[in-house]
Chain A
């Protein structure tokens, strides 16, 4: 994903033919949207949003942008992703003539982000910048700004009201997770022994999946340390793989690490090393693909929203399985049964092992993106350049999702069945969503 600075954007815009206010919307580059979506990613990084929470934030912010744009363009058209979802909610404000769809889309998105993310307030600055850009380049007339902002704010309020009913606020009413004192089950992992992330995420409303049980993977290999048992074989595989990692495998593991909060300790001092989440990585890929395909606003917003909603559903499904099977992490098992001094090259994320979240959500995203862009869509993934990792070319979305999945084995944080079954789970979810919105 290319990150544009405001000045670069401005140059791009003045090169475009001068247009009447709000009428020739197609000349406004979609970079505006993609860059502002990255600001939402930045807030998630600040807040250390957990992977499932991040997906939820992406879903509502990108959906808001999509809906606001559609509403501004065609107030009577009901062919939105929301209309195709399970959610019945139509209490959105109607757009009036002077609403500029691009402005409304981005402003609404930022406004939703502002309201649903803990540090969302940081986006106020971005809203001001947006105002300045649109004003400077005369994309919205002076007297229409107030109207545009009022529309976006009202739209965002509706979106937040819709989000509020999804069960998120009820999460704190559940009894917190207690580790089972049984072999083969999950226990907090070093070095920070963090409490498990969102054990009740299964209770969150999904967009497309009707019964999350239908997407349940096969159960994991039963815990059995006997030689030759499926579990033992996989345990040995993680251990041995980690010891004979090729340079390329290590690179792959790091490229797809996507751990929002890695804790480094030094005596009393702890420093959290932050990265974007797995969902953030795929939102990044969506932006890269959109730009490469030179998608227009309508399609850019549509595909981002669809990926966002798909990520959310995939995480809910995956998290249900995680806390059902409550499986031990390779790190705990290897330390206990094979090698007390072993450490995975990636830090073990703080939740149960089965299935691999990255495998599930990567596959779901790849299904959606392939259906949209086609199977032979090659692209260069630059999402991780910030973290000192090189750009990485892929021939297809599936190639990327397969690599993301197996990276968890190289990283030493997942067993093979969690990866393979996770990919299957993601495939089923992705295919279903594609079918639903066709």
Chain B
């Protein structure tokens, strides 16, 4: 409150928009202003010729940059454009969207060489914004030297890079000015790229040394002289760097500014964590689990208003089916493995949204958010376009030539061949200029406030197809709405005036903040602003360099929504001191000055509920390593990877418990004993290495009062469709805890099963079994047999599937089952889930048979890719409710009843193998999911039909299969991929989806528990999927999620920072022992068991 006095608070302009005529509302929310009216005629014109073209210079079509800043401190942001081959332009903002080209008089047109990114920053700390321009290209050293235009204060600039030591001659993409060492002045990170292609063979060599012009550089400002400290500071400088995106942010929340570098091609992105001692450590692999492959521009911002910054990197995956099909080649698992093994990490070609989970950990949710496919993208900018309080997202994109078109690879070779046959010289420039050129529309996404973005490109008027690159936002007319400036190739730059308030009629509110640093960092780059409203804090950071080759306004903008309210603003200055404003006036531009004696900002670290334990079940899970896609190339996930499963016995008299942990082909399952928290392996138990254990249960098989063990044999691998290794097993307990395999207990059941439940189904007092069949190895998606096994009392079971089960047990691809008396008639019923199965309720008819009454029981129980099921009384009404784990929404698939996923299958080419073709909807139209190469590999008969990618790119299923073939196809559909809660209302199971966070990954294991002892059941959901098509990419955003229940069937995510779970990998099972309920064991595929302890809360 003290500081308020010292603060200059003034309102610049309050808007009068009431009189706006409603007739004009038809016009676009982002109104494209013509050059005639703005005076901005800048056009990044390229001239392709023998000397200048894409074959000579790889980054020929990358486009130019934009920098915005108030160069004359008149309160209006001015604009600078870079032209790759044309003059740069500086436009002075004269208000009301009128600009004056002062390039000539200001002396900033730059030199005649390849120009790239631009930054505006007060490099010399005199309170005036200077301009730093980057150069690259194939020219000589002089031509590449970057330029620093020092603002003379009279609308003229003086190039003085050499004096500052910044006349660097690297192949630069962009410079970023920031104060990394908190000494009060601006240092510089220079993002560079290689101009020669590096062959795969040279990777190791190239990585081992610094490259003088391709390696990134860090310059430290030492009293106005910049010194290259890259090596000392730990900045990588190898030739592999194809840096396209740079920004800085405090990624791990430790108060020191970190750096994110996005790299094109094979080289992975870098995250430089600031060590606070003048050095950085590259820690990308510790923080991210997978990343974009051909990373381009990026932005870092608190996207979900949780006070933690999230990372968004761009790539080149198109949204529409046609361009996807033209782009995707064959999937190459060997090449992918090589990439990972050689240290390039998991990279996939699509935009990645890395959601900050705290403590420097991130979960990738770009597809869930709906922002993963924006074509060949350059600039990403998070800003609150509609002043809703949620940052929206702008993406610029476009590439001047259709360079990656697969037909170009295969069939332009024909051009050479034909030229050779015709004895004509081949002309490569002709080859380049004959490539097609497809302009695409930029994207703007509205942040829905729920992790999901809505594409508003059309509605908001940004649909003009073009080739856009650098971009910046700024409130050019100070109306409290952020406008957009976009640099285009061979087209005038876009000036988009934001008129959302006018067009929507929503009286939204805002506040803008102009920071004034007390030292040489005059616009306080690196400062954070936390804004609080009703206890919720969100974050914006002062880092003008973001997006691509560009600099946004130095004035920070916060949208405040329709009932605009702001309890307080806290500015955390780069040196860690803070300034707090209570109830600041809104709809104004605040200027906040740094004060020398501000208090140090301290953030409370929340306490976590769970902590990881060192002491866990001593079991190592080791996968056999079979690639299921080699067997059935059109599978989406690998069905082999099912373990480890876990089962616990009842508590023994001595307080100990037995736990069985399932094995996988090549490494058998084991039995463990736990007593007083000490684990030991139970010797004498023996399972064979040929089996893949997919479920297990302890139950009394022979009525001797001791629990025996049933183990499901599952998997896919190289098992025959009726392999002996698919036989389930029973191990009989001799009464003293010794388990022995009982060969004669079970009938022959050579099915890859997934689940077993034990219950007395026929009412004779003996435990019977239901076994769910998962898959027919090699013959997906044929329906496997499920079994109803009746206990004969002598330790033997009889297969009564035909008389007891509908369809004689051919129920579907069952993944999980529960046995409960759902209708309260005293007999035990079955609830099943499975792949392409609706939630299935089988009602027990007096212990004689089951009838499928799903239709009567289920409300919203759509067929999905269900994979787990948990039963408990979540709404505390005395009956049992269900939670069913599904595939989630963090993938390319978002089916609905209107746009289902449909799997068509038959032996279409009559060669003895099942051809399963998935059809999914893209932009409202159904298309076959397989790429051309995948389809042709499955059915050779398709080769004459689709001799090139173009012919397949727009083909629908009718075109692919023809009417006749389609008629003989069988079909499976799925309309719901969300993990859902089903409330038992006594006569129905009413389904509704779990919260959005539960949809971030496939949910493979569910544990109901009351972690906070409030009497309401909570949930732990875990899963992920690593063994998935490369094209779909690893889904690993679930780090073990704790959802707090309110006892009414509603659940709310407890953030990872508070739950304490931080699980990496694919969880296949969760176990909580009755004898030790404070510990939760997670079975992680190809790793082992990870155990968490519930902390005692004071």
| Chain A residues near B (Cβ < 8 Å) | 3, 42, 45-48, 117-121, 168-173, 175-179, 181, 187-188, 190-191, 193-195, 261, 263, 265-275, 335, 340-341, 343, 386-388
Contacts and interface: CB of A to CB of B under 8 A. Distances in A.
B205 A268 contact: no
A266 B938 contact: no
B378 interface: no
Nearest to B945: A118
B913 interface: yes
17 contacts: A46-B414, A46-B947, A118-B943, A119-B944, A172-B911, A172-B913, A173-B913, A175-B631, A175-B718, A188-B338, A191-B199, A191-B200, A195-B334, A270-B409, A274-B416, A274-B417, A335-B201
Contacts of B625: 181
Contacts of B294: 268
B627 A178 contact: yes
B941 interface: yes
Contact of B938 (A42, A45, A172, A386): A172
Contacts of A269: 54, 403-404, 408
B201 A121 contact: no
A46 B947 CA distance: 9
A119 B945 CA distance: 8
A271 B404 CA distance: 10
Given A45-B414, A340-B201, 16 more contacts: A47-B943, A117-B944, A118-B944, A169-B909, A172-B940, A193-B332, A265-B197, A265-B199, A266-B55, A268-B404, A272-B412, A272-B413, A274-B413, A335-B201, A386-B420, A386-B421
B204 A340 contact: yes
Contacts of B335: 188, 193
Nearest to A190: B200
A193 B631 contact: no
A96 B913 CA distance: 42
B958 interface: no
Contacts of B58: 266-267
B944 A120 contact: yes
Closest 6 pairs (CB-CB, A-B): A176-B630, A118-B943, A173-B913, A272-B413, A193-B335, A386-B420
B875 to A, nearest CB: 48
Interface in B593-646: 625-627, 629-631, 633
A193 B266 CA distance: 14
Contacts of A47: 943, 947
Interface residues of B, number: 53
A392 B39 CA distance: 68
A340 B943 CA distance: 38
Contacts of A343: 201
Contact of A119 (B204, B421, B778, B947): B947
Contacts of A119: 944, 947
Nearest to B335: A193
A46 B411 contact: yes
Nearest to B910: A169
B205 A341 contact: yes
Interface in B22-73: 54-55, 58
B205 A3 contact: no
Interface string B712-727: 0000001000000000
Contacts of A187: 334
Contact of A168 (B54, B940, B947): B940
B939 interface: yes
Contact of B633 (A176, A191, A265): A176
B940 A169 contact: yes
A274 B630 contact: no
Which of A45, A173, A386, A388 has the most chain B CB within a 10 Å cutoff?
Answer: A173
Nearest to A269: B403
A341 B206 CA distance: 11
Contacts of A3: 421
Interface in B402-453: 403-404, 408-414, 416-417, 420-421, 423
Contacts of A335: 201
B630 A45 contact: no
Nearest to A167: B911
A371 B630 CA distance: 44
Contacts of A178: 626-627, 630
B19 interface: no
Contacts of A118: 943-944, 947
B624 to A, nearest CB: 12
A171 B910 CA distance: 12
B654 interface: no
A146 to B, nearest CB: 26
Nearest to B915: A172
A126 to B, nearest CB: 14
Interface in B304-361: 330, 332, 334-335, 338
B912 interface: yes
A171 B410 CA distance: 23
A266 B54 CA distance: 10
B722 to A, nearest CB: 17
B96 interface: no
A172 B938 CA distance: 6
B937 interface: yes
A3 B626 CA distance: 50
B197 A267 contact: yes
Contacts of B8: none
A272 B408 CA distance: 9
B238 to A, nearest CB: 16
B74 interface: no
B265 interface: yes
Interface string B138-155: 000000000000000000
Nearest to B941: A169
Contact of A193 (B338, B409, B913, B940): B338
Contact of B403 (A45, A120, A268): A268
Contacts of B408: 269, 271
Interface in B925-962: 937-941, 943-944, 947
A195 B911 contact: no
A193 B55 CA distance: 23
Contact of A173 (B332, B414, B912): B912
Contacts of A268: 265, 294, 403-404
Contact of B912 (A120, A170, A175, A275): A170
Nearest to B410: A272
Nearest to B409: A270
B202 interface: yes
Nearest to A115: B944
A266 B630 CA distance: 29
Contact of B944 (A121, A176, A274, A340): A121
B430 to A, nearest CB: 13
Contacts of A193: 332, 334-335, 338
A69 to B, nearest CB: 26
Nearest to A196: B334
A194 B333 CA distance: 10
Interface in B187-224: 197, 199-202, 204-205
A193 B329 CA distance: 12
Nearest to B265: A267
A117 B941 CA distance: 10
A194 B338 CA distance: 13
Interface in B885-928: 909-913
A269 B58 CA distance: 9
Contacts of A272: 409-410, 412-413
A319 B845 CA distance: 60
Nearest to A46: B414
A62 B265 CA distance: 46
Contacts of B265: 267-268
Interface centre among A168, A179, A269 (most CB of B within 10 A): A269
Contacts of A194: 332
Given A119-B947, A268-B403, A269-B404, A170 B911 contact: yes
B201 A190 contact: yes
Nearest to A173: B913
A322 to B, nearest CB: 17
